[in-house]
Amino acid sequence: MNVLAFPKGKPMARGSERVEMSHGAGGRAMQRLIADVFHAAFDNAELARGEDQAVLPVAAGRIAMSTDTFVISPLFFPGGDIGALAVNGTVNDVAMSGATPLWLSAGFIIEEGFAIDDLKRIAQSMARAAKAAGVTIVTGDTKVVERGKGDGVFINTAGVGIGAPDIPLGAARIEAGDAILVSGTVGDHGVAIMAHRAGLQFETTIESDCAPLNGLIAALMASGARVKALRDPTRGGLSATLNEFAQAASLGIGIIEEAIPVRAEVFGACELLGLDPINVANEGKLVAVVDARDADAALAAMRAHPLGQEAAIIGTAHADPHHFVTMRTRIGGQRMIDWLSGDPLPRIC
Amino acid sequence: MNVLAFPKGKPMARGSERVEMSHGAGGRAMQRLIADVFHAAFDNAELARGEDQAVLPVAAGRIAMSTDTFVISPLFFPGGDIGALAVNGTVNDVAMSGATPLWLSAGFIIEEGFAIDDLKRIAQSMARAAKAAGVTIVTGDTKVVERGKGDGVFINTAGVGIGAPDIPLGAARIEAGDAILVSGTVGDHGVAIMAHRAGLQFETTIESDCAPLNGLIAALMASGARVKALRDPTRGGLSATLNEFAQAASLGIGIIEEAIPVRAEVFGACELLGLDPINVANEGKLVAVVDARDADAALAAMRAHPLGQEAAIIGTAHADPHHFVTMRTRIGGQRMIDWLSGDPLPRIC
């Protein structure tokens, strides 16, 4: 079922209105909610067609398709909100293939009683994020669940991008000797959320790094550097991404703690919260694996982009039958970087 | 974040295991859940690549993209379950454009404590439905929310199809004089769910009509009938779809009650439950609007397909400045068919 709207009838009153079960029932109330909240914000010709699907022109080649569901709590946080996150998260997952993200779908699960003004704020944030990333929200769906059967709003986005490389980027292409780069400071998103939840005060507010990375990736690819794999280290942080790479490539990965950029406030907050920045989610950073001969060119290309100014070469891949990820620590030791176990950071995205 | 798995490590024990917050944390527990439940069921090369997106070949032309989120309660019901529904619902929304659905994404929001065996059952049902519809689940995402912040499992699917017509099918193409057809009995899905919830017993169990309609649509299009618009009458039922068509086409629509196929059991249950079958959701039916000269050919093509055996011509579009939908009743009167108001059938899909 589509969010396709019929912008007729009285607009909804402003202020204290809340989502009711009837807003998910497929009738006039749903049509009005969709028109007033989603169509008003996302305003584009495909949605305006009013069908249950978008129809989109493609050239012969390869498209990339990805999806992500967002259940972050709280919905609004320093540096972003669930709406911006839902757009950027899927833009980034599509872009990591080397494709150009163009179109998003959006599926909402709204808890009965949710304030319509908050829903509008989220939709407007999605619209701004989509514009900034150069993508269009072309189709959608709205569901309402009873009070106590959801948590405010959950958002799923799926994305389609065009022009993916014939031989897709991916962990399977990583070879021993390849350089590992990160596009900037790690841990900002997760620490911003945790600090906000815990009510921690710092001299400067720690903000989520929530951002679309398609522009940075385009700059990196344009540099001519032989890029093997790209991934955004979200849940599980840098350590999960590196372990995924090591397993999928059947290689070891060695990183250098000193080389990993971490904001001083994030480092401090991690000490307080008992977290390691390399285990903490990012929403505007990427890990790039490139041919070692191109590491400097890749680094220069990333640093020349506003979202990659603090990019760094943090390690290399090497032969290792155990596929371990290891880190040379600041004090000169060597430690294993394992997958995170348990969930110290629930509902971080 | 992808459902991409690393099928290493011990498989999970069978039986009483339940989803924990750690299954959504991006670490080893999540990888194992995804491998054991989703990859085991969906088994395909794109998922096996282990990236955060699928990369898919397309010819030059038009793709169709749609999304739908499923929050149905209960999760298992006569004639289907949330898994089959999540696949067929999006397959149908993509197919209604005239495109051939090929690829799906799947996003899961699982409530902490949900039985892993039930999740496996749902994933296996999705896999069977995907196979039957000729589509592949190529990318996905898994989130876990705390007990009491969800309701078992919610599933979003997005779908992409290829070969959409250059001039898309759609309500805007409907003209006065066009014939309105329905592909079979209406109300089966909604009544099956409501009867099941209410614990009503009938001589034969009323089952959901949950089914993929892409084959039926292909048969209809192959007949050469000039099809103007197709839509599946889900939430809000036939009456919502006809009102959407009337508004978008700026026409009136007249239907004949006697011509609308309704199962006797569904009719009886509707009487008991105070529902009108034309307001009740369907999950395996479509409404087709075709040039009047092709109505018989379209009807014959639909009836020749297993999912269209009870297809019927139920009315016509006509000029009407009010864009009303009206029905000639069994007793010879004329009544307005308005949008449903309120939500007599919450969480029907």
Task: Classify domain A171-336 by CATH number.
Answer: 3.90.650.10
Sheet harboring B287-290: ordered strands across? B227-231, B287-290, B179-182, B312-318, B252-256, B325-328, B334-336
Q: Give the span between the Cα atoms of A68 and A347, in whole angstroms.
A: 13
Threshold 0.80, pTM exceeds = yes
Cβ contact B6–A62 (<8 Å): no
For A296, the 3-state DSSP assignment is helix
Question: How far is the alpha carbon of B230 from chain A, nearest alpha carbon, in Å?
Answer: 9
Cβ contact A66–B248 (<8 Å): no
Q: Which residues of B touch A140 (CB under 8 A)?
A: 67
Axis crossing angle, helix A295-303 with helix A214-222, rounded to the nearest 10: 140
Q: What residues pair up with B312 in beta bridges, in sequence order? A: B182
Sheet harboring A179-182: ordered strands across? A227-231, A287-290, A179-182, A312-318, A252-256, A325-328, A334-336
Q: Give the span between the Cα atoms of A97 and A21, in whole angstroms.
A: 39
Out of B69, B145, B346, closest to residue A141 by CB = B69
B107 Cβ under 8 Å from any chain A Cβ:
yes
Residue A325: partners with Cβ closer than 8 Å, 6 or more residues away: A239, A242, A243, A246, A252, A253, A254, A255, A336, A337, A338
Chain B residue with minimum CA distance to A246: B6
Cβ atoms of residues A80 and A283 within 8 Å: yes
Cβ contact A235–B30 (<8 Å): yes
Chain B residue with minimum CA distance to A108: B69
Phi, psi for B236 (deg, rounded to 5): 90, -15
Phi, psi for B141 (deg, rounded to 5): -155, 145
Range 81-100 of B in CB contact (< 8 A) with A? 89, 93-94, 96-97, 99
Q: Give the span between the Cα atoms of B235 and B92, in whole angstroms.
A: 14
Q: Give the span between the Cα atoms of A38 and A47, in whole angstroms.
A: 10
Positions of chain B with pLDDT under 50: 1-11
How many beta-carbon pairs under 8 angstroms link A with B? 309
Q: Give the span between the Cα atoms of A269 and A284, in whole angstroms.
A: 19
Question: How far is the alpha carbon of A333 from chain B, nearest alpha carbon, in Å?
Answer: 24
Is the domain defined by A21-162 classed in CATH 3.90.190.20? no
Which mean pLDDT values do the consecutive 10-residue runs of chain A (349 residues) have? 38 74 92 95 93 96 98 97 98 97 98 98 98 98 97 98 93 97 98 90 88 98 98 96 97 98 95 93 98 98 98 98 97 92 86
Query: Beta strand pairing status for A325-328 and A252-256?
Result: parallel
Can you tell me which residue has the tokens 């390869």?
A62
Cβ contact B65–A71 (<8 Å): no
Q: Give the span between the Cα atoms of A28 and A47, in whole angstroms.
A: 17
Pairs from A170-173 (Cβ < 8 Å, separation ≥ 24): A170/A97, A170/A228, A170/A229, A170/A248, A170/B49, A170/B50, A170/B51, A171/A229, A171/A231, A171/A244, A171/A245, A171/A248, A171/A249, A171/A289, A171/B50, A171/B51, A172/A248, A172/A249, A172/B49, A172/B50, A173/A228, A173/A229, A173/A249, A173/A289
Cβ atoms of residues B139 and B48 within 8 Å: no
Out of A52, A58, A340, closest to residue B61 by CB = A58
A1 Cβ under 8 Å from any chain B Cβ:
yes
For B289, the 3-state DSSP assignment is strand
> How buried is B176 (Cβ within 10 angstroms: 0-12 exposed, 13-18 middle, 19+ buried)?
middle
Range 262-291 of A in CB contact (< 8 A) with B? 281
Integer angstrom CA distances of residue A251 from A209, A244, A246, A292, A320 = 30, 10, 5, 15, 5
Its ipTM equals 0.94
Residue A131: partners with Cβ closer than 8 Å, 6 or more residues away: none
Q: What residues pair up with A221 in beta bridges, in sequence order? A: none
Cβ atoms of residues A86 and A220 within 8 Å: no
DSSP string, A16-34: S-B--GGGGSSSHHHHHHI
Q: Which residues of A touch B38 (CB under 8 A)?
A: none
Which pLDDT does position A183 carry in this prediction?
98
Chain A residue with minimum CA distance to B339: A27
Can you tell me which residue has the tokens 């109505």?
B295
3-state secondary structure B71-117: CCCCCEECCEEHHHHHHHHHHHHHHCCCCEEEEEEEEEEEECCCEHH
For A157, the 3-state DSSP assignment is strand
Range 132-191 of A in CB contact (< 8 A) with B? 138-141, 143-146, 148-151, 154, 156, 158, 160-161, 164-165, 168-172
Out of B141, B149, B165, closest to residue A67 by CB = B141
Cβ contact B6–A93 (<8 Å): no
Cβ contact B65–A53 (<8 Å): yes
Q: Which residues of B touch A281 (CB under 8 A)?
A: 26
Nearest to B232 by CA among B248, B219, B245: B245
C-alpha distance across the termini of chain B, in Å = 26
Nearest to A234 by CA among B79, B30, B225: B30
pLDDT in tens, A240-262: 999 999 999 999 999 999 999 99
Amino acid at residue number B49: R
Cβ atoms of residues A53 and B65 within 8 Å: yes
Chain B residue with minimum CA distance to A165: B55
Residue A13: partners with Cβ closer than 8 Å, 6 or more residues away: none
Range 208-247 of A in CB contact (< 8 A) with B? 231-232, 234-237, 240, 244, 247
Q: Which residues of B touch A172 (CB under 8 A)?
A: 49-50
Could you tell me the two tokens for B243? 């009102």
Q: Give the span between the Cα atoms of B75 and B88, in whole angstroms.
A: 15
Q: Which residues of A touch B54 (CB under 8 A)?
A: 64-66
Q: What residues pair up with A137 in beta bridges, in sequence order? A: A104
Listed by start position, the domains of chain A span 21-162, 171-336
Range 29-88 of B in CB contact (< 8 A) with A? 29-31, 49-71
pLDDT in tens, A208-228: 999 999 999 999 999 999 999
Nearest to B343 by CA among B235, B245, B266, B271: B235
Cβ contact B6–A231 (<8 Å): no
Neighbouring CB atoms inside 10 A of B79's CB total 20
Out of A27, A65, A344, closest to residue B341 by CB = A27
Is the four-CA dihedral B45, B47, B50, B52 of positive or negative sign? positive
Q: Give the span between the Cα atoms of A196 and A184, in whole angstroms.
A: 22
Q: Which residues of B touch A29 (CB under 8 A)?
A: 341
Q: What residues pair up with A117 in beta bridges, in sequence order? A: none
Tell me which DSSP letter residue A255 carries.
E
Chain B residue with minimum CA distance to A139: B66
B336 Cβ under 8 Å from any chain A Cβ:
no
Amino acid at residue number B48: A
Cβ contact B60–A60 (<8 Å): yes
Range 287-326 of A in CB contact (< 8 A) with B? none
Q: Which residues of B touch A139 (CB under 8 A)?
A: 65-67
For B64, the 3-state DSSP assignment is strand
Q: Give the span between the Cα atoms of B265 and A95, in whole angstroms.
A: 51
Question: How far is the alpha carbon of B53 from chain A, nearest alpha carbon, in Å?
Answer: 4
Q: Give the span between the Cα atoms of B3 and B36, in whole angstroms.
A: 11
Q: Which residues of A touch B154 (CB under 8 A)?
A: 109, 143, 145, 154
Question: How far is the alpha carbon of A13 from chain B, nearest alpha carbon, in Å?
Answer: 18
Q: Give the span between the Cα atoms of A21 and A209, in whole angstroms.
A: 35
**Which residue of A6, A49, A67 to mutate against B (max B Cβ within 10 Å)?**
A67
pLDDT in tens, B252-266: 999 999 999 999 999
Integer angstrom CA distances of residue B306 from B48, B88, B131, B286, B288 = 34, 16, 17, 14, 17
Q: Give the span between the Cα atoms of B38 and B56, in whole angstroms.
A: 20
